[in-house]
Amino acid sequence: MKKKTIDNLKVKGKRVLVRCDFNVPLIDGAITDENRIIAALPTIKKLVADGGRVILCSHLGKPEKKLSLAPVAVSLSGHLGQPVKFLADNQVVSDCVRKAVGEMKDGEVALLENTRLRKEESKNEEAFSKDLASIADIYVNDAFGTAHRAHCSTVGVTSFVAESAVGYLMEKELKFLGAAIENPVRPFVAILGGAKVSDKILVIKELLNKVDKLIIGGGMAYTFFVAQGHTVGDSLLEVDRVKDAKEVMELAKAKGVELLLPVDTVVTQEFSADAAYKTVPSSGIEDGWGGLDIGEKTREIFTSALKDAKTIIWNGPMGVFEFPNFAKGTLALAQEMAENTGTTIIGGGDSAAAVNQLGYGDKMTHISTGGGASLEFLEGKALPGVEAVQNA
Ligand code: AMP
């Protein structure tokens, strides 16, 4: 599909509304991870260099938290090396904001307040979409992380603006994820982990049509253990998903996909960072014990399975990586991926956090900025935020 990109736009003297994903983690009002801000810079710099009047917008946190984007304006000013005027207004777009935008000069940058302060935002209601459009000649969507949501600032606004395009970050995300799915260099291996089968079942089924090997670890592996006929003690288990796990095992066989499940697991008697632990075979989890990581043998099997891979996609940690004692499986796979000379893609969310936390972020070909969006893309679903720009 041909995308409208910012390279095709003439922005000089125009008001360009850019939807970014500045949904950054905050502790006591301080930003603890600026990756999403840094990822937005290429688009902003290009529009500034071309003489656009750049008006940025984003959501931040859950609507009920009513968080302010003020700290993001400060961080952005530093990264851009020019002032970013923060248009603090709980209405997000008001007459005052319209006036301030009207006074902007070419190459200046402003940031609107958190779009979720407007109750219409998440419902994609016209009033707020029109308000956003009233301060823009051109709309650019660069927020991959929210492209799977049809909100005013991602979809609705495109109906009321003359011209729309996707930004560089959105293009990059679609390029890497799209190439991996549509035309992967083989062998193509997917690693899926994280807490729940239910969150990932659609992507697992879709990937079974594409991959040569599928590795499953993390909390969701225990539902597969039960499907194999084992008991799992106090480990995470989704009883109602055992039939899905069985289906995945049968589908993998039918499609000739090598499915790798943990053969051993690290278990504890309590869920805590300093709990005593031991490794047991997948068939040997006793009552009162729960699995928090893949075991040593599994680490070897999984890392060997990656050696000849030319494309690897990873979504979801292999264990409770937040506790160092149970981050070893996740660490082993991150290390193996870092050494791989093929294309290595991290599908956002907790896997991105894990890889960055473990210090391998810059060794990957691509780390997606959108956990939910990348999962929906890999499930084969159209992303409303991208569709809206194509069809505008
Ligand atoms: P997700 O967002 O679905 O990718 O899940 C990530 C979360 O799964 C992380 O917070 C991990 O701590 C958690 N997780 C991974 N493995 C396990 C496990 N064996 N038991 C409990 N939680 C796990």
85, 172, 196, 363: the active-site residue: 196
What pLDDT sits at residue 392?
Answer: 82
DSSP assignment, residue 190? E
Residue nearest ligand 1's atom 18 by CA:
219
C-alpha of residue 17 to centroid of ligand 1, in Å: 37
Q: Is 372 part of the annotated catalytic residue set? A: yes
Out of 320, 325, 378, give the residue to mutate to test ligand 1, the one with the largest number of ligand atoms within 8 Å of its CB: 320
Residue 62 to residue 298: CA distance in whole angstroms = 38
Q: How far is CA 358 from CA 9, 182, 318, 334, in A?
A: 39, 30, 13, 8
Residue 254 to residue 233: CA distance in whole angstroms = 31
What pLDDT sits at residue 348?
Answer: 76
What are φ and ψ of residue 43, in 5° steps? -65, -45
What pLDDT sits at residue 350?
Answer: 85
C-alpha of residue 194 to centroid of ligand 1, in Å: 4
What pLDDT sits at residue 158?
Answer: 98
Segment 279-338, tens digit of pLDDT: 999 999 999 999 999 999 999 999 999 999 999 999 999 999 999 999 999 999 999 999
C-alpha of residue 1 to centroid of ligand 1, in Å: 35
Sign of the CA dihedral with 4 first, then 5, 8, and 9 last? positive
61, 107, 361, 372: the active-site residue: 372
Quick one: tokens of 34?
Answer: 């600026």
What's the whole-number average pLDDT of the chain?
96
Segment 210-263, tens digit of pLDDT: 999 999 999 999 999 999 999 999 999 999 999 999 999 999 999 999 999 999
What pLDDT sits at residue 1?
Answer: 45
Residue 211 to residue 1: CA distance in whole angstroms = 23
Segment 91-100, tens digit of pLDDT: 999 999 999 9
Would the pLDDT of 3 be above 70?
Answer: no
Segment 153-183, tens digit of pLDDT: 999 999 999 999 999 999 999 999 999 999 9
| Residue 167: how many other CB atoms lie within 10 Å | 24
DSSP assignment, residue 241? G
Would the pLDDT of 370 be above 60?
Answer: yes
Segment 49-105, tens digit of pLDDT: 999 999 999 999 999 999 999 999 999 999 999 999 999 999 999 999 999 999 999
Q: Is 196 part of the annotated catalytic residue set? A: yes
Q: What is the mean pLDDT of residues 344-353?
A: 88
Segment 90-141, tens digit of pLDDT: 999 999 999 999 999 999 999 999 999 999 999 999 999 999 999 999 999 9
Q: Is 36 part of the annotated catalytic residue set? A: yes
C-alpha of residue 271 to centroid of ligand 1, in Å: 12
What are φ and ψ of residue 277, in 5° steps? -140, 160
14, 15, 19, 36: the active-site residue: 36
Would the pLDDT of 264 be above 70?
Answer: yes
Out of 235, 294, 350, 351, give the residue to mutate to test ligand 1, the one with the largest number of ligand atoms within 8 Å of its CB: 350
Give which of 121, 259, 139 is closest to 189, Cα–Cα.
Answer: 259
Which residue ranges have their beta carbon within 6 Å of ligand 1? Answer: 194-196, 199, 218-219, 236, 291-292, 316-317, 319-320, 322, 349-350
